[in-house]
Structure 1
Amino acid sequence: MYSVGTVILHTPSPLAGFAKQDAWLAALFRTGIALIFVWFHIRVGNLYPELPLDQINEKVFGKLVGMMINFTFFIWSFSTAAETIYYMGNFIETFWMPDTPLAALNIMLAAVVIFTVRLGIETFTRTLEIFFIPVLILLTIFLVSIIPQANIQNIQPVFENGAKPVIRATLFFISVFTLSPVMFLMIFPSKVNESKKGGKAFFIGTLIGGIILILFIMLDILVLGLDTTARNIAPSYTMAKK
């Protein structure tokens, strides 16, 4: 759920802008790289199973340098959280509630986040467990329903512009999808009852999220075409309406 999130709405457009019809290849390469990063995260977490990320940084780099590194993580996570709330508010205002002020939507979404944090991580994760299967079922129905409208010519020819645009798109996607799960080291494995199962779930979840994004980015181009995908702020939503 974390991997897909708002990425499924907003990422296909810039990826298509970078890599054109090869955007799905960038998603494919990024998924492979993401699994390597997750393996690295699991190894780091297992080295210090009792410590969250901020304490690992202070232990490894010393108090002063560790605090400086932790401060950059705080600024990054804080700005990313604000950016995600803006994305969701902007999406709701643009497509569903154009007469509602964006600030009102952002305040509502921020209130949900604050309420969730107050309830605690176990409540949050168990809620995700409840939502996971229905979301997976809906995504499967969606993907199966849209396949008949796909046009294979929209992703041809492969590598028409060479490898450079694909590499650029892959690096962009890595920054959005692959690097951010390092924040899970704040809870993994120090807050997980069974770290081995947690590590396996971390790996499998990343793989499932990657597969979903590959399929959606590919179908965005197959169904909508390259130009519509690149110019639309939420091509996956436009495809869903079809």
Structure 2
Amino acid sequence: MGKEKISYFQFFCLIVLFEIGSAVMFSTAAKAKQDAWYVILIAMVLGILLFWMYMLIRLAFPKLPLTGYVQLVFGKFLGRLIGFAYVIYFLYITTRLLRDFEELLMNTVYEENTIFSIGVTMIVTLIYANLKGIEVFSRTTELGLFFILSSVLIIIALLFAGGNIQMENLQPMLENGWKPVLKEVFPGTLTVTFGELIVFAMLMPHVRDKKLIKTGITAVLVSGLSLALITAITISVITPSVRLRATFPILTAVSYINIGFIQRIETIVIIILVILVFIKLSIFFFCAVKGTADLFKIKEPNSLVFPIGVIVLLSSIMIAPNYNMHLQEGLSYVPYYLHIPFQIIIPVIIFIVVLIKKRKKTKQEGR
């Protein structure tokens, strides 16, 4: 695992597809109504600053993953505890993403299937992808990015051609001022949409230093602008109120397309969503396995893939009794009690420690 390398373009593709990931499935910042796309743009700017901090920390520890350098910053005992907490965090997010995937398919194309059967299919695929390694997986994202972006552009063109886009649905702008917009930015949109990039602190040792920051920030910018555009298009098609109520708003928007024989293309969108969720799911799963192997000095990480996969599968079923409670937990509790500590508080502490150590080193060299 440690010898695998990711090219800059593959790193770019991973981030863009990861960011769009599950965010495009749901009604991101729906309470901001027609201003939801503003929320995403503001959160994107803050997300770039957050990711920039993650990358600066990585440059201080170029050969170590997150679970490795927390032990240098906080000491071996506390550092291992924090590293283990990050592994649990990654596993929990993996579990939530798997449940999202299961519910998506159960509510669309596999209504007669059980959560367990859908979950087993996904976990088997996930295990296979993980055994192939991050380098092989990253190569597939190059083709995935081309397919998804071209499909999205075609769908947007069809919505325009069919007269489905009503720009008045985006009016009036800032109807209730900036307060509801800023309220949706933090912690919800920032942490769920952009803060989860903390997981890339486990992958950055696989990428060379030279263009790391430029590539990473460009990818976050592209993904943020893409999400804002998709959100604005969705609102203009189905109205803010329908978007707020819809389980999967993008599917509702696409169902409006009816141009001659071109209709009922929701299946294509479902395929896109499955690919996006799978990529995000795979990254979190890979990093959970990598983190566990790093903390417990396991020389063969692949031996962990199957047992961790079983844990994730069973947890996805038990995580919530129904989908509404699953979503409520993700909106009301996860951002405050998990995302903020793991995405912001701990990284900020690490960043401050890195700056202090760097300043001390500079003073000593000056003497």
Provide TM-score, normalisation by structure 2.
0.62
Per-residue CA distance 1:6-56 (angstroms, 9 max, x = gap): 1101143xx21x212211110110111111112111111111111111111
Aligned to 2:25: 9
For 2:243 and 2:133, how far apart are their aligned partners in 1?
A: 38
Residues 168 and 236, structure 2, Cα contact 8 Å, conserved in 1: yes
More deviation in 79-88 or 3-12? 3-12
Whether 1:138 aligns to 2:151 is: yes
Which of residues 203, 216, 226 is equivalent to 1:212?
226
* Matching residue's letter, 1:241: S
Q: Deviations over 1:39-92 (max 9, x none)?
A: 111111111111111111110111122122212211211011011111011111
Q: 1:11 to 1:64 in 2, by over 3 A?
A: farther
TM-superposed CA distance for 1:197, in Å, is: 2.7
Query: What secondary structure is seen at the aligned counterpart in 2 of 1:2?
Result: helix
The partner residue of 2:174 within 159, 168, 191 is: 159
Report the counterpart of residue 198 of structure 2 in structure 1: 182
Counterpart of 2:164? 149
How far residue 202 of structure 1 moved from its aligned partner, in angstroms, is: 1.6
| Number of residue pairs matched by the alignment | 237
Alignment of 1:1-242 (within 5 A): 1-12=17-28, 15-16=29-30, 18-147=31-160, 148-171=163-186, 172-188=188-204, 190-192=205-207, 194-242=208-256
Per-residue displacement from partner, 1:143-167 (whole Å, max 9, x unpaired)?
2222342222212222222222111
Tell me how far apart the structure 1 counterparts of residues 155 and 38 of structure 2 sit (CA, whole Å): 22
Distance 1:155 1:97 in 2: 34
| Unaligned runs of at least 5 residues, structure 1 | none
The answer as to whether partners of 2:37 and 2:228 remain within 8 angstroms in 1 is yes
Aligned CA RMSD, in angstroms, stands at: 1.3
Measured against aligned partners, the alpha-carbon deviations of 1:214-238 in whole angstroms (never above 9, x if no partner) come to 0111111111001110000110121
Determine the C-alpha separation between the residues in 1 that align with 2:172 and 2:190.
Answer: 24
Residue type matched to 2:240 in 1? L
Higher relative contact order (CA 8 A, sep 6+): 1
Letter of the aligned partner of 2:78 in structure 1? V
Identity of aligned residues (%): 24
Cα distance in 1 between the residues matched to 2:80 and 2:109: 43
Q: Secondary structure at the match of 2:206?
A: coil
Consecutive unaligned residues in structure 2, runs of 5 or more: 1-16, 257-367
Q: Distance in 2 between matches of 1:174 and 1:35?
A: 10
